[in-house]
């Protein structure tokens, strides 16, 4: 069973990931362009692989 802190962290993480989707759409990027940006900038193919500190700086 997850603690309240773990559940809270998961909820925040899901919100951050959802915001990345909104930002990619706002930029008019395709998912592939978003992926290319992550690889070029962070060396990761998916927002879920980027640490939460890096993800929030995007």
Give yes or no for a contact between 29 and 37, defined as CB atoms under 8 angstroms apart.
Answer: yes
Euclidean distance between CA atoms 50 and 22, whole angstroms: 17
Tally of structural domains, the chain: 1
In this predicted structure, the answer to whether residue 54 has a pLDDT above a threshold of 80 is no
Smallest CA-to-CA distance from 13 within 56, 46, 57 is with 56
**pLDDT-derived band of residue 52, with 50, 70 and 90 as boundaries?**
low
**pLDDT given for residue 53 in this prediction:** 57
């Amino acid at each position: 069973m997850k603690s309240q802190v773990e559940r809270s962290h998961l909820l925040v993480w899901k919100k951050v990931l959802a915001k990345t989707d909104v930002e990619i759409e706002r930029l008019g990027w395709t998912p592939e362009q978003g992926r290319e940006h992550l690889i070029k900038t962070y060396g990761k193919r998916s927002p879920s692989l980027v640490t939460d500190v890096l993800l929030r700086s995007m």
